[in-house]
Amino acid sequence: MLGIRDVTHRYRDGTTITLPNWQAQDGEHWALLGPSGSGKTTLLHILGGLLRPQRGQVFIGERRLDQLGERALDQFRGQHIGVVFQTLHLVDALTVENNLRLARYFAGLSQDRNQILEVLDRLGVAEVARHHPHRLSQGQAQRVALARAIINEPAVILADEPTSALDDKTCQQVLELLTAQALACHATLVIATHDARVRGVLEHALELEPAE
Amino acid sequence: MNLFRLSLAYLRRNALSALLNVLLLALGIATITVLLLFSYQVEQRLTRDAADIDMVVGAKGSPMQLILSSVFHIDVPTGNIPLHEARWVQNHPLVAGTIPLALGDSYRGFRIVGTTPRYVRHYGGAPAGGSLWDDDMEAVLGARVAERTGLGVGDRFAGVHGITGGEAVGGEVHEDHPYTVTGVLRHTNSVLDRLILVSVPSVWKVHGYDHEAGLGPEHEHAGGRPAQDGAVDGNGDAQSDDEGAQGPDDERELTALLVQYQSPLAAVTLPRVINSRGPLQAAAPAYETARLMQMMGIGLDTLRAFGWVLVIAAGLGVFIGLYNALKDRRYDLAQMRTLGASRRRLFNHILTEAIMLAVMGALLGLALGHVAAEVLGQSFRQTQQLEITGAVFLTQELWLVGLAVAVGIVAAVIPAVQAYRTDIAETLGRGR
Ligand SMILES: Nc1ncnc2c1ncn2[C@@H]1O[C@H](COP(=O)(O)OP(=O)(O)O)[C@@H](O)[C@H]1O
Ligand SMILES: [Mg+2]
């Protein structure tokens, strides 16, 4: 189970986002929709333990993220949550393989080369394992970022605007990859986007009201 | 993957600036290392050479020059003192023992020193081959002298008048008074290694004060050999001498006497008494050595400060490099936090990078320093008495590595704190 209740977040500059109560069952795929500025990214960051809401409760399974200590939250995030940002933020100083290793390392998990290559293979990018990210095509980079998000077999996969900058065909492929990989890890998937093309693809959707 | 490899990956990416900082640091550390090795070895050497010599008595002049010439054998002597004055010192009740030195000649740049076996014993010298001299015109070579000249037991050589300069001394060669090598000493790492040791009368003989040989310029002496080792030595372990004919008109001279006091109290009165005797001067090796080290120290301090300036500059370079890179790296850092890295991890990650640079710079610097000391030492060895080598390792060098690491840590603190403060949502939410 993944959900929020009575969550309000106030940014330092005073911008206040009030989010609706919401919850998803394990393994469900959700689209988080709404116009720009409606708070999709804010909600995603809160779900991912990247942002502590000023008020309210955040559940993942039995856990209350809002009640976890700093270090425990870091560890929980590393082990149970995979995030793909619109800007992929692959670490360019490291090879593709080592980017995945980094995810294992920070989560405190074993770094098995075979497992890493297997995940890369599953996403069709095993041949670039030794390349640095700047040498990858946009499509390859997308897949590597997704590989890094799922390498720890997370319970929740969060994607922020994964398709916005893509053409229809690539958009379709990325959505298929995301859903397929979420299915493969039995993870709950939440895609935040203002991209209308995503609307019909996922079984569930949460519409955020535009901020006034 | 671990922090070490992660930091290394970032260093590789900025290899050029990393290299420059490492080099800068290495040069600074190398400069300090060379100074450390030099001053340590010089001090070691000076201390060893001056050990257990309470006082040196020689001709009037600069006390520093007296010490340099008769203890370290670097400078020219202040002059000579009449033998009967030396005897007076030797027989003084406050004097426990003396070693006479008669200088004047050299062979291929190495000083020929007329002395007694006690001098050899004083530095723990012992023959590696052959034996000590037991007659006039017999010579024992210091280890380095034997290596350099290729002379061995049984060989003969003639001294050259004068003791300054290297091998190109143009002085008069004492062809008619060749020495025979009877022994070669083991290495003692003291001044002994570079000396040719003979009996005092040998020096007199070469310079025409030998009465037996009839070369004495003014007058004749009655009995056999005019002055024996044992007599001058004061130990009386050789023959007794014919003291009777001694007097102010005796031409024979010594260059200096190395004196050991009977008791520490002697230091209070004896130097004054000696200095009040016409031609004599007393100088304390401990005092002059300390003065020498101090004078040298001032020059070394300047160089050392220069070394530290380089180290600090390298620290500044590391700081600027990290600080600038942090702008580009904040997305990486936020992403790492997303992957589960704690704030502490990011702090350590930046620190690790600086420490790695510091350690590399320090180790390279130490290596360079030792190589430079060895190379400089080799070139000095041709011309100087001092033997400096790079193959000496000091505990201070560990301190040097520690200090370099400290400089790296200080340089990295501000960037590391910034990394620690990385706000994930802030950075990734708006960063495009
Ligand atoms: N770091 C921030 N500081 C201040 N205001 C922010 C910050 N991030 C987002 N906001 C504001 O919060 C509101 C919601 O933003 P966001 O969650 O990014 O919406 P969306 O992802 O739906 O476009 C916007 O008005 C935005 O300006
Ligand atoms: Mg957004």
pLDDT digits (tens, 9 = 90+) for B157-183: 999 888 765 545 567 788 888 999 999
Contacts of A74 in chain B (CB under 8 A): 337, 340-343
Number of domains in chain B: 2
Residues B80 and B191 in one domain: yes
Boundaries of domain holding B207: 55-283
Whether residue B421 lies within 8 A of chain A, CB to CB, comes out as no
Strands (E), A15-80: 16-18, 22-24, 29-33, 55-60, 63-64
Q: What is the pTM of this model?
A: 0.80
* Chain A interface mutation, best of B326, B428, B432, highest count of A Cβ atoms under 10 Å: B428
* Chain B interface mutation, best of A73, A81, A89, A150, highest count of B Cβ atoms under 10 Å: A89
Whether residue A118 lies within 8 A of chain B, CB to CB, comes out as no
With the most atoms of ligand 1 within 8 angstroms of its CB, the residue from A15, A19, A36, A158 to mutate is A15
**Using an 8 Å Cβ cutoff, are B104 and B256 in contact?**
no
Residues B426 and B381 in one domain: yes
Contacts of A42 in chain B (CB under 8 A): 425, 429
Nearest CA in chain A to B11: A93
Tell whether domain A2-207 is in CATH 3.40.50.300: yes
What's the DSSP call for residue A134?
G
* Chain A interface mutation, best of B6, B11, B335, B348, highest count of A Cβ atoms under 10 Å: B335
**Using an 8 Å Cβ cutoff, are A206 and A30 in contact?**
yes
Residues B350 and B406 in one domain: yes
Cα–Cα distance, A129 to A190 (Å, whole number): 27
Q: How is residue B405 written in tokens?
A: 């690491």
Angstrom distances, CA of residue B54 to CA of A38, B67, B95, B99, B399: 92, 11, 10, 12, 35
Cα–Cα distance, A193 to B325 (Å, whole number): 32
Ligand nearest to the CA of A206: 1
Does residue A99 have its Cβ closer than 6 Å to ligand 1?
A: no
Residues B273 and B360 in one domain: no
Does residue A42 have its Cβ closer than 6 Å to ligand 1?
A: yes
Does residue A39 have its Cβ closer than 6 Å to ligand 1?
A: yes
Q: What angle (nearest 5°) sits at the alpha carbon of residue B200, between those of residues B195 and B203?
A: 80
Q: How confident is the model at residue B292 (pLDDT cuts 50, 70, 90)?
A: confident
Residues B385 and B262 in one domain: no
Q: If you measure from the C-alpha of residue B37 to the centroid of ligand 1, how many angstroms do you get, rounded to a whole number? A: 62
Lowest mean pLDDT among B188-192, B236-240, B318-322, B329-333: B236-240
Residues B145 and B10 in one domain: no
Contacts of A98 in chain B (CB under 8 A): 1, 5, 9
H-state helical runs in chain A: 40-47, 70-80, 96-106, 113-122, 138-150, 168-184
A16-71: per-residue pLDDT in tens?
A: 999 999 999 999 999 999 998 899 999 999 999 999 999 999 999 888 999 999 99
Nearest CA in chain B to A39: B429
Residues B107 and B138 in one domain: yes
Q: Is the pLDDT of residue B117 over 80?
A: yes
Ligand nearest to the CA of A85: 2
From the list A47, A131, A49, the residue with the least C-alpha distance to A90 is: A131
CB contact under 8 A, A106 and B345: yes
Q: What is the ipTM of this complex?
A: 0.95
Residues B105 and B152 in one domain: yes
Q: Would you state the pLDDT for residue B249?
A: 58
CB contact under 8 A, A70 and B342: yes
User: What kind and span of H or E run contains B25?
Assistant: helix B15-50
Q: How confident is the model at residue A86 (pLDDT cuts 50, 70, 90)?
A: confident
Residues B74 and B39 in one domain: no
Does residue A102 have its Cβ closer than 6 Å to ligand 1?
A: no
CB contact under 8 A, A41 and B429: yes
**Using an 8 Å Cβ cutoff, are B382 and B363 in contact?**
no
Give helix B285-338 / helix B63-70 axis angle, nearest 10°: 80
Residue ending a domain, choose from B253, B283, B313: B283
**Using an 8 Å Cβ cutoff, are B56 and B258 in contact?**
yes
Residues with Cβ within 8 Å of residue B390, at least 6 apart in sequence: B37, B369, B370, B371, B372, B373, B374, B375, B377
Domain ranges of chain A: 2-207
Q: Is the pLDDT of residue B230 over 60?
A: no
Mean pLDDT computed over B381-396: 78
Residues B232 and B297 in one domain: no
Residues with Cβ within 8 Å of residue A46, at least 6 apart in sequence: A4, A7, A9, A19, A52, A53, A58, A65
Q: Would you state the pLDDT for residue B240?
A: 38
Residues B297 and B185 in one domain: no
Residues B261 and B405 in one domain: no
CB contact under 8 A, B332 and A93: yes
